[in-house]
Amino acid sequence: MDSERLSTTFVELADTLVADFDVLDFLHLLATRCTQLLDVSAAGVLLADPAGHLRVMAASSEQVRLLELFQLQNDQGPCLDCYHTGRPVHVTDLAAVEARWPRFTTQAREHGYGAVMALPMRLRDDVIGAMNLFSSAPGLDDADIQVAQALADVATIGILQHRAQHQSDTVVTQLQTALNSRVLIEQAKGVVAERLRMTMDEAFTALRAHARGNHRHLSELAQAVVTGTEDVTALSERLPRRGSSD
């Protein structure tokens, strides 16, 4: 692992936490950085809603988001086990655990993944969610796992920090607000995808690039897009090429 890049990332994440920030944008940045720092091809961050169901909050790609949803839909997979037990779940070879999660392993392997690491996002005694890292077998080594858990902890800190800034009464209400922002962003992706004839991934990239380029919060921009107060065509102007760093 590139230690300089690692420290740069932690500085970058810490900087974000100091300023007023958008929690979903932050979680997305974290998921993206995971794929760049660690030997993983995809990352997802899931949080529990008040009813106790996990929801995908950020994913490094639409493909991994769908894979996460697939776990939730079928109520099986390392992510759910990690969330329910509060312990990391490390699968070094998906082919070897077919009996445990038959549907999940089939899907994950079809997408080209051979290993999965699920890390709990812990807040004192509570587990508020989980971070998942998908890679080729045999997955992460011990040093990578330590960094990954540190990143999962940073994600938790980000949520707490956001709550402190916004004087939200509790973690539960803060999470609920973040979950609603997630819904809002999906609605905005739909609007942008339809209007600009983009894929969902492209629509998200466009939304995010526009928010960053104009120093606006992603959720606030999404709100304006969905309620029709934003000129959506302006979003096509600042589009980076696909596959750029974030």
- Judged by the rule CB under 8 A, the positions of this chain that interact with another protein are 48, 50-53, 55-56, 62, 65-66, 69, 72-73, 84, 86, 125-127, 166, 168-170, 172-173, 176-177, 180, 183-195, 197-201, 203, 222-223, 226-228
- For 7, the token pair is 């420290």
Q: Residue 243: which region, alpha, beta or left (left: phi > 0; alpha: psi -120 to 50)?
A: left
CB of 96 to another protein, least distance (A): 27
CB of 225 to another protein, least distance (A): 8
CB of 151 to another protein, least distance (A): 22
CB of 200 to another protein, least distance (A): 4
User: Of 38 and 48, which CB lies nearer to another protein in the complex structure?
Assistant: 48
User: Of 197 and 238, which CB lies nearer to another protein in the complex structure?
Assistant: 197
CB of 23 to another protein, least distance (A): 12
Are 89 and 118 in contact by the 8 Å Cβ rule? The answer is yes
201 C-beta neighbours (distance < 10 Å), count = 16
User: Of 55 and 90, which CB lies nearer to another protein in the complex structure?
Assistant: 55
Q: Which helix (H) or strand (E) holds 213?
A: helix 200-213
CA distances (Å), 238 to each of 29, 205, 214, in order? 18, 10, 10
User: Of 30 and 80, which CB lies nearer to another protein in the complex structure?
Assistant: 80
User: Of 38 and 184, which CB lies nearer to another protein in the complex structure?
Assistant: 184
215 C-beta neighbours (distance < 10 Å), count = 6
- For 97, the token pair is 């655990």
Are 54 and 48 in contact by the 8 Å Cβ rule? The answer is yes
